[in-house]
Amino acid sequence: MKLTNMRGNLLIFRLDWISIFLLLFLIGFGWVNIYSTTVGNDLSGPLLDLGTFYGKQLFFAILSLIAVILYSFIPDQFIERFSSVFYLIGIALLLGLFVFGKTIAGATSWYDLGPFNFQPSELMKMIVALALAKYLSDTQVNLRYSVHQGYAVLLLVLPSILVIAQPDPGSALVFFSLFLVLFREGLPLYYLTFVLSFILAFASTLKFGLTYTFIGALALYLSYLWLKPKRLKTPTWFNVSYPVILFTIIASTTWVYNSVFKQHHRDRFSLWLNLETNEDRLLDIKQSIGYNTYQAKQAIASGRWSGKGFLEGTRTKGDFVPAQHSDYIFSSVGEEWGFVTSALVVLAFVALLLRFIYLADRQKKAFHRIYGYGITSVLFIHFGINIGMVLGMLPTIGIPLPFFSYGGSSLLFFCLMCYIFLKMDANRLKTHFD
Amino acid sequence: MSRFFYSLVIIIVGLLFIGKLVSLQLFYEESNIVESDPAITKNYLYPERGFIYDRSGNLLVGNQPSYDVMVTPREVTSLDTLEFLKLLDLEQEEFIDKMARARRYSTRLPSVLVANLSKESYAALQEKLRRFQGFFIRKKSLRDYYTTSAAHVLGYISEVNTDDVRRNDYYIPGENIGRTGLERQYEEVLRGKKGVSYVQKDRFNRVIGPYKEGSLDSLPQMGKNIHITIDKTLQEYGERLMNGKRGGIVAIEPKTGEILSMISGPTYDPSLLVGRQRSANYTAMYYDSLSRPTWDRSILAQPSPGSPFKALNALVALQEGAINPKTTYTCDEGFYVAGVKRGCHCGGGVRDLNSGLLHSCNAYFAESFRSFYRKFETTTEAHDTWEAHMKSFGLGDFLGTDLPTGAPGRIPSTEFYDRAYGRNRWVSTFVISNAIGQGEVAATPLQLANMTAAIANRGYFITPHLLKEVEGENSIDYKFREKRYTTIDEKHFDPVIKGMEAVYTSGTARFLQVPGIRLAGKTGTVENYTRIDGEKVQLTDHSVFVAFAPVEDPKIAIAVYIEHGYYGNRYAGHIASLMIEKYLKGEITRVDLEKRMLEKTLAKEYAKPTSGKPFEINEYAW
């Protein structure tokens, strides 16, 4: 091992520069797109103008850098030791929103800090990842035990509930993404099958109707019982309760869809699954609920191979895509930079995620590994849902694209979240000597 | 789960995204984009609507520019409402209402805020408009009338409604369509074809140039000018004569079937239906349910034609050999139908065809009608023959003229009477009123004029029409040039025309003489009824007159129908003779008569049925 090489070196040489370059590319290019979507008519203004979106974002990028530098001086043990305290503070911050929160676009998700708004759920993503890592890295904890499963799930569900109540269901989804960590850490996989098959059954009932889904699900379940390998052991309660719940879901889908869902939920689903047969109504949905998706798709499509060029995107700059500087920013990439660069951005995200998995797996400490998987899951769900939505492959769910979408707290905490992990990685061998 | 599984999921998602990007950015059909792309605006270029000229080339309808104030609600940022409203001469409530409506339609698309601004308001607004963000002016073309008459013939244009848009995909909301009259009939000729231009906008929504260098654009095709058969002078003169009277006048040039004038009274100035007051004006006229100025009596009113039908019945009887010009019947100041005497105003005596016509003897025509029926084995056979002859004069069915509306009139068929009385349960006495143009027959003034033209032509007519020429086209539709022959032989027309000339020289129309013009005509005094409080009440007779002149070379055939004008010559006859004189000589010698006709109105007569008081009909004094 090259331990000796590492020992005397500064932190900066031990950091994983592949990840850092990827991050810098994403942040820098993201800011370029925010500038392009929000700069408007007058290009002569200063870049760091806090009255503008791009100016604020640049300010937060600088703030992120400062935070990262400051964090470099804090020992890794600090963050591990106090992660439970952070969790409590985070929960308190979320609860505080119900009293002091500021409402923007119907969601009470912000604290008003004068010139800036602070969104605690962004911070909470990092905190939950830390808390989960802390809990799971405890040698006493084994996810084979249902009590421990219960505690772990509670860690995720509690902030989810608080966030859903804001209401901000998109962010709640992010906490659920941390389930992926649980599976990595030994939560039996059939839970995942469980949940996924329910979602699939629901969508399939809507799309193909009750009868076909019922027959299909029954056939699959029976063939599973028939063909499953002897060594695959699932608890009896699971084998019994699974089909009961599954068929209840299939049978109740229509009722839930028509009576529990609101019209705007139904419209999103019908657009996504192509359910609407009435032409007029379909057009209606496309022009209202589907307007964003439609415009985003058109903008991306018009980019062709190489895009229209920086600041030259006609559709996106004409304000045709609502929320373009935030959730729909990827449409600007698609229009102004074209296919090659868009694909490059997707690849950059994929590379970053793969790199993080690689880094996580080389950690010596469970806490570090689990935290690495945690933030990878968080980034992955953002990336997957946001771009899937912008490309029209998923229903509309409001969730930002990390490093790209406008949002100060979001940028700051994503940076900090990643840097905490990178610093853990940089110091992964250090603990042996301390 | 292993790290490879996680890595695999991430890679798959990444590949899915790249695949979707490929399909969107590299294989998306661009042609779909043009129509729905908000950065490409489709502009229509509207050609000027074709002009309408009269038969001698006088301009009747042209175009004038008009200005709509448009608003794009989301672009309205700050607004000095007070000043703006003052410039537009708009009430605040109205403004708020209209803005709300525009916003409801679309916040991004322009809506009309104020339509058809006057030139003065436009000039005032133009200077200050750039200060009012979100508002702009759309110039469009409105009809400009160079005559105050012929409103019904010309028709009007109005904005398309949802039905029009659905039926015809040429139109989009906000465009105009010919709604009635010739504007509607020749809509496709007059409107031309709109052009399209696609413009590309930049990110500030500014136009940066044609989309794809204009390769998808098309130029507008100008609307064609049309010349119509109306004689402007005669039309305007006729409408002046119609002052205060209800009824219809149709004048036709017999040799060509060209309609020289087509007048309905009361009428309105066509320019009332243009511009900002259009809606108010139209509503006012639409709700005038007594005089009904929007109802074209010249082609839609279907009264019994009265005595002019006697000429036609004489022709039928001659053709079938039931009578000859020498045949006489005795009028006992009336005639007997199934033992009941029906009256005649002719004074009584022995009548032949000539004197029967000139005195309009009911008895003579009833008897000849009866002899005609006796020629046949059965009433049905006789009646069918009669019906065929009548219909060959263009009666009892739509004439096929080039107007979008019309009425068929009625020549009752055997089936009609079978329905009314039962099969084999009616005989000639049931239908004898038709002999004198009363009873079940009905005809529009246009049909009466056309029938007269057929007599003037001695056995044929050309479908009456209004289109004389489309500029740039060789000839009009063949159906407006083709002779339609009647079933009456030419030789039978001479005695009838002689009788009709006698009507004018020494008969019921002898007071209408125009110096130097030989005229053949026939008066009609048509009994008519209405219902007041559920009771059938007789009203003052309609005054009807048909004529053609000059007899030796007919240049004009005219039918005049004046509601409740009493004697055929009292109003209809006088008006017809003035019209003929005006058309043939260009000036009027009988100034006193002209003055009387221009000034005399029938307002008193028309007020009677709705007065709620008992009233006298057919008053001698007038």
For the segment B367-398, what is each residue's pLDDT rounded down to a tens digit?
999 999 999 998 889 999 999 999 999 999 99
CB contact under 8 A, A357 and B28: no
From the list A41, A373, A391, the residue facing B204 with the nearest CB is: A41
Q: Of 3.20.20.140, 1.20.120.1200, 1.10.287.1770, 3.90.1310.10, which CATH number belongs to B42-103+111-228? A: 3.90.1310.10
Question: What is the share, in percent, of chain B residues with pLDDT greater than 70?
Answer: 97
pLDDT tens by residue, B341-354:
888 888 888 999 99
B14:A380 CB<8 A: no
* Mean pLDDT value across residues B576-591: 92
Does A186 contact B at CB distance below 8 Å?
no
Phi/psi of residue B253, each to 5°?
-85, 110
Return the residue of B nearest to A332 by Cα.
Answer: B203
Which pLDDT belongs to residue A316? 60
Residues of B with CB under 8 A from a CB of A: 1, 3, 6-7, 9-11, 13-14, 16-18, 20-22, 24-26, 28, 33, 36-39, 200-205
Per-residue pLDDT of chain A (434 residues; tens, 9 = 90+): 344 444 556 777 788 899 999 999 999 999 998 888 887 666 677 777 777 888 888 999 999 999 999 998 888 888 888 989 999 999 999 999 888 888 887 788 888 887 778 888 888 989 999 999 999 888 888 877 888 888 888 988 899 989 888 888 888 888 888 888 888 888 877 777 777 888 888 888 888 888 888 888 888 888 877 877 766 667 777 777 878 888 888 888 888 787 777 777 777 777 777 777 776 677 666 666 677 777 788 778 877 887 777 776 666 655 666 677 788 888 888 888 889 999 999 999 999 999 999 999 988 888 999 999 999 999 999 999 999 988 888 877 888 899 999 888 889 999 999 999 999 888 887 655 44
Shortest distance between the Cα of A302 and any Cα of chain B, in A, equals 7
Of A41, A303, A391, the CB nearest to B20: A391
Asked if B17 lies within 8 A of A302 by C-beta distance, the reply is no
pLDDT for the residue A283: 67
Question: Which residues in chain A are closer than 8 Å to B24, comparing Cβ atoms?
Answer: 297, 300-301, 334, 391
Report the predicted TM-score, pTM, of the whole model to 2 decimal places. Answer: 0.63
Chain segment B178-222, per-residue pLDDT in tens: 999 999 999 999 999 988 888 876 655 667 778 777 777 888 888
CA distance B3 to chain A (A): 7
- Between positions 287 and 316 of A, the ones with CB within 8 A of B are 295, 297-298, 300-305, 311-316
Q: Are the Cβ atoms of A334 and B21 closer than 8 angstroms?
A: yes
* CATH code at B232-285+300-611: 3.40.710.10
**Mutation site, B3, B17, B30, B35, interface A, largest A CB count within 10 A:** B17
ipTM (interface pTM): 0.87
CA closest to A393 among chain B residues: B20
The answer to whether A376 contacts B24, with C-beta atoms less than 8 Å apart, is no
Which chain B residue lies closest to A186 (C-alpha atoms)? B1
B169 or B242, greater pLDDT: B242
Average pLDDT, chain B: 88
- What pLDDT score does A61 carry? 92
pLDDT of residue B224 exceeding 90, the answer is yes
Instruction: Please give the pLDDT value at position A322.
Output: 67
pLDDT value of residue A286: 66
Q: What is the pLDDT of residues B111-158, one digit of tens each?
A: 888 887 877 788 888 888 878 888 888 877 889 999 999 999 999 998
Three-class SS of chain A: CCHHHHHCCCHHHHCCHHHHHHHHHHHHHHHHHHHHHHCCCCCCCCCCCCCCHHHHHHHHHHHHHHHHHHHHCCCHHHHHHCHHHHHHHHHHHHHHHHHHCEEECCEEEEEEECCEEECHHHHHHHHHHHHHHHHHHCCCCCCCCHHHHHHHHHHHHHHHHHHHCCCCHHHHHHHHHCHHHHHHCCCCCHHHHHHHHHHHHHHHHHHHCHHHHHHHHHHHHHHHHHHCCCCCCCCHHHHHHHHHHHHHHHHHHHHHHHHHCCHHHHHHHHHHCCCCCCHHHHHHHHHCCCHHHHHHHHHHHCCCCCCCCCCCCHHHHCCCCCCCCCCCHHHHHHHHHHHHHHHHHHHHHHHHHHHHHHHHHCCCCHHHHHHHHHHHHHHHHHHHHHHHHHCCCCCCCCCCCCCCCCCHHHHHHHHHHHHHHHHHHHCCCHHHCC
Domain ranges of chain B: 42-103+111-228, 232-285+300-611
pLDDT at B39: 67
Give the rounded percent of residues in chain B with a pLDDT score beyond 90: 51
Q: Can you spell out the DSSP letters for B317-371? A: HHHTTS--TT--EEESSEEEETTEEEE-SS--EEE-HHHHHHHT-HHHHHHHHHH
Task: Please count the residue pairs, one from chain A and one from chain B, whose beta carbons lie less than 8 angstroms apart.
Answer: 104
Structure confidence at residue B491 (pLDDT): 93
* pLDDT, tens digit (0-9, with 9 covering 90-100), for B409-467: 999 999 999 998 888 888 878 888 899 988 899 999 999 999 999 999 999 999 999 99
